[in-house]
């Protein structure tokens, strides 16, 4: 570097150098920038460690070792995302269940400014992994996400109850792999605004400030007690908050609307459909059932719905691509008639997805946007 460039660089305020470092998109490029000079190293290194994204076991172990060697970096970490693959390499698989657990726990106990933690570890096949959270306290944590294959655990409930300031929570488990526990502690999160994950933990949420605004349920078993679940969610939100719900399951789809309208009539947006099944056209009885339930909703504007119930219209010939029956085409005119019927019961409805078509209503008329 020429003396002129060095003089120009040293004349810049640290705030500007920090902004430059923050604009670098890739961690590798930012690390190279840190090695350019002592000044850039001093200013840019905290930026490098602010948001850590790890996708391999060996990469994770290396990063945890660096943090152990350089304890001053602990205060720099604001978010940590560990997203391990479903099929790790042979070398990575040797370290999944042993070497990574204790370094990870040690690091989490030291990153006192951590606000966001995301851990997806599909190959941790038992609850040994959850032992990390037994006594762990992260005082500044606001967003917590975990994907794991263990059982429904009181350990997680206890961990969450020690973090009352959480606003975003994600608890995802593989679909229908463990029995629902007889007793699971309630989860008290007074400031929670968003939840994504399994229905079992969702039914145990207690949000005293009624701040819950968005829920995404992706793996509810077909036998889910909808009244119990929606009653719990209703207690966690307020009619003054625009509530959005995504509910994907393989139970009877039309059975969703009545209990939802009963407990959460202020739902603003609903996305419902199959989790693992395939879409089927609506029957006349299903259309009528949904219409009657829509009377209960007072502010529903967006409805994205794909039915999964049995219908005599289904062709049982397996498709060549997916090995599943292909649902026959459902005419635009039939969809339009269905939507016209629905808005007589729910006049606030303005956007709808039905049979893979997207409709929007303007000036009282439905327009087809996408097919």
Quote the longest CA-to-CA distance of the chain: 81
Which tens digits make up the pLDDT trace of 46-58? Answer: 778 888 888 888 8
pLDDT tens digits along 261-304: 999 999 999 999 887 766 667 788 888 999 999 999 999 999 99
**What would the mean pLDDT of 335-363 be, rounded to a whole number?**
91
pLDDT in tens, 120-169: 876 665 567 788 899 999 999 999 999 877 778 888 999 999 999 999 99
Per the prediction, the chain carries an average pLDDT of 82
pTM, two decimal places = 0.84
Instruction: Indicate the pLDDT class of residue 8, thresholds 50, 70 and 90.
Output: low
Q: Where are the domains of the chain?
A: 1-48, 242-371
CA angle 173, 223, 255 (to 5 degrees): 115
Neighbours of 27 (CB within 10 A): 14
Q: What tokens were used for 326?
A: 């292909």
279 vs 101, which has greater pLDDT? 101
- The conformation of residue 317, written as its DSSP 8-state character, comes to S
Q: What is the reported pLDDT for 224?
A: 86
């Amino acid at each position: 570097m020429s003396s002129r460039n060095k003089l120009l660089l040293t004349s810049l305020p640290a705030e500007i150098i920090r902004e430059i470092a923050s604009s670098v998109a890739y961690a590798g490029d930012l690390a190279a920038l840190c090695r350019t000079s002592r000044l850039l190293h001093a200013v840019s290194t905290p930026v490098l460690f602010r948001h850590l994204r790890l996708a391999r076991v060996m990469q994770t172990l290396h990063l945890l070792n660096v943090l152990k060697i350089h304890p001053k970096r602990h205060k720099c970490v604001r978010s940590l995302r560990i997203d391990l693959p479903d099929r790790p390499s042979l070398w990575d698989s040797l370290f999944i269940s042993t070497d990574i657990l204790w370094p990870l726990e040690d690091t989490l106990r030291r990153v006192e400014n951590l606000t966001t933690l995301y851990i997806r570890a599909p190959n941790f096949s038992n609850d040994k992994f959850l032992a990390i959270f037994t006594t762990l306290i992260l005082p500044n944590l606001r967003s917590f996400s975990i994907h794991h294959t263990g059982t429904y655990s009181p350990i997680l409930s206890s961990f969450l109850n020690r973090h009352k300031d959480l606003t975003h929570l994600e608890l995802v488990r593989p679909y229908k792999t463990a029995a629902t526990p007889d007793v699971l502690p309630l989860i008290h999160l007074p400031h929670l605004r968003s939840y994504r994950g399994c229905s079992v933990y969702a039914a145990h949420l207690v949000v005293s400030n009624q701040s819950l605004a968005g829920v995404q349920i992706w793996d509810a078993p077909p036998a889910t007690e909808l009244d119990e679940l929606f009653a719990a969610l209703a207690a966690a939100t307020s009619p003054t908050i625009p509530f959005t719900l995504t509910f994907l399951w393989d139970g009877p789809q039309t059975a969703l609307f009545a209990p939802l309208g009963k407990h959460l009539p202020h739902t603003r947006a609903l996305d419902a459909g199959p989790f693992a099944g395939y879409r089927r056209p609506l029957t006349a009885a299903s259309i009528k059932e949904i219409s009657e339930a829509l009377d209960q909703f007072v502010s529903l504007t967006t409805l994205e719905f794909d039915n999964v119930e049995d219908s005599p219209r289904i062709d049982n010939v397996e498709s060549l691509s997916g090995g599943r029956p292909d649902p026959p085409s459902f005419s635009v005119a039939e969809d339009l008639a269905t939507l016209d019927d629905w808005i007589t019961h729910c006049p606030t409805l303005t956007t709808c997805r039905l049979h893979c078509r997207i409709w929007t209503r303007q000036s009282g008329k439905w327009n087809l946007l996408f097919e």
